[in-house]
Chains A and B, each alone.
Chain A
């Protein structure tokens, strides 16, 4: 069964925290709950779970690719044209370092940017459980995304804790 989302709008940070705790006690998991704000509140303000992201993997992944490409280019060309320059070994590290550095950085940048796009997914055409007042008036949104059978209970909990209004993501 497809998941559905419901959004509750709140004006007070403490109330959001209390609602979040109550939802957790009622059996909702951290990955089913999401807080939306117009400002970057300090992490943990609402007692929300610390988000897990894979952002650091992108630059590292890019760096590994870039370094490997640089290694292939430099070692490959020098072995293909084994010319002794200035009495130095064919595979001398110092002149290769510049290319290692450049390619590692270039690929890290490209993969980080691609990663940023990928993590953001595609632009949302339908905003789902979202309300403009989060960005315009500073309301705090609490989104619960669960199966259809549990959505009603979540909506009731949001209302019970004083959500100014609720909005269903699929409507």
Chain B
């Protein structure tokens, strides 16, 4: 029988990555522990969550079917549905940006949470499924509304917004799924060689991964390329959704900043939803050894910065309409902010800016395990109110113009969701979570290879009277 590995004589059996760990604080080779955590049977809480999200997803699908049966002609009937769909894109689909950005910038602190962030890519399937019926809801360009697209009645198709948004959406979801798979491939190989029973699935998913220098090199390159594509497509998806599925439906709303504002909101919502996922993994997932204060602190700082940016976008857009002061611009302000939707508007500001700003400015809140998740919930509530304020008002707008004032004859009342709308809402929130839970059975929620790499490049060293984490960043 071989002896345990001796770092001085360099002999014996090496239990990875003991050699590095012996210089750091950890005592147990983390990869083994992480593999066991991933492969062990899930607890009761996981099963209950899976069951509940499955039930709510089915309820959501039923709600969608009822809406489809009711027809696509009445726009206001679909206002909550569109809100819910866009909410998926401004929260769940923003979360992977953290992994992509920190990988490109080579930020080590996010390694323990980068896989959690990538797993959110799977929620793109839910977003795409919800988006499809909206293609029938959005009127064609025949109604004469302003548009970015080339259109001529009877000669050029009136469905450019539908076609181009679908194309960009497909590219976005493809990129997201490719990123998830490429990032998880080394982990599938590790699980292929460690697991019993699921071996065939992992064998297929690892797609011949053996860990050669060329494969590692390719992985880095691919993640960088696709990460950049993901960011570009995130902006483009929100550009199309915001301009074609929202702004053109509110006559007079001409603001080149809003599509980018929505993309920014998606990144803010993404960080918020990721903080909650990280908190769940830390508190109840059994990953306290791997997720530390560093991750909550880092995410808290990020949320703080993005929340500050929210007010910049808001003020910049407001000024255009406020000082423009044309009748239809005043209408837009009335519809979105100061009219019937004033309470929703105030709620948005309170939850999405005031709460994060006033609380995250405090170091002891930002640098804590409970502060950022509580604030993240507030940001998500604010994000939903923001989507509701924009999309439900645009979709329930009566477009009759008063000929004397050249303004809308009737401003929309706050849309009160029906039972079917609530069914759809439940489904829209549950379906991405259901997909994430299902995929987490196969994809480890903490990246095995990134965790190894983290340990490989880092060690805790004594520094005068304290101990510091020394992290390497290879070229």
Contact = CB atoms under 8 A, between A and B. Distances in A.
Contacts of A48: 213
A37 B212 CA distance: 6
A51 B344 CA distance: 56
B232 interface: yes
Contacts of A102: 164, 167-168, 171, 236
A139 B149 contact: no
Nearest to B239: A98
Given A35-B212, A127-B210, A98 B148 contact: yes
A38 B15 contact: no
B167 A112 contact: no
Interface in B21-57: 31
A99 interface: yes
A36 B190 CA distance: 13
A13 B104 CA distance: 27
Given A105-B233, A135-B194, A85 B150 contact: yes
A55 B225 contact: yes
B190 A109 contact: no
Interface residues of A, number: 58
B89 to A, nearest CB: 17
B155 interface: yes
Nearest to A98: B148
A37 B208 CA distance: 14
A39 B168 contact: no
Nearest to A42: B474
Contacts of A106: 167-168, 170-171
Interface residues of B, number: 63
A134 B211 contact: yes
Given A40-B449, A98-B148, A136 B190 contact: yes
Contacts of B229: 59, 105, 108-109, 112
B248 to A, nearest CB: 14
Contacts of A123: 203-204, 206-208
Nearest to A13: B19
B182 interface: yes
Nearest to A38: B211
Contacts of B17: 39, 138
B156 A77 contact: yes
A64 interface: no
A15 interface: yes
B282 interface: no
B182 A116 contact: yes
Interface stretch (B77-85, B216-224, B427-435): B216-224
B14 interface: yes
Contacts of A95: 148-150
Given A11-B5, A130-B210, A137 B155 contact: no
Contact of A11 (B14, B148, B214): B14
B143 interface: no
A81 B208 contact: no
Among A40, A98, A99, A143, chain B packs the most CB atoms within 10 A around the CB of: A40
B452 A39 contact: yes
Interface string A98-137: 1101110110111011001101111110010010101111
Contact of B152 (A35, A37, A81, A103): A81
Nearest to B229: A109
A51 B211 CA distance: 13
19 contacts: A11-B5, A38-B452, A39-B16, A39-B449, A50-B217, A51-B217, A53-B221, A55-B221, A56-B221, A95-B150, A102-B171, A103-B167, A106-B168, A109-B226, A116-B178, A123-B208, A136-B16, A138-B14, A138-B452
Interface of B: 5, 10-17, 31, 148-150, 152, 155-156, 164, 167-168, 170-171, 174-175, 178, 182, 186, 189-190, 192-194, 203-204, 206-208, 210-222, 225-226, 229, 232-233, 236, 449, 452-453, 456-457, 472, 474-475
Given A37-B211, A101-B236, 12 more contacts: A11-B10, A34-B213, A51-B217, A53-B214, A53-B221, A56-B225, A95-B149, A105-B171, A109-B178, A109-B233, A112-B178, A112-B222
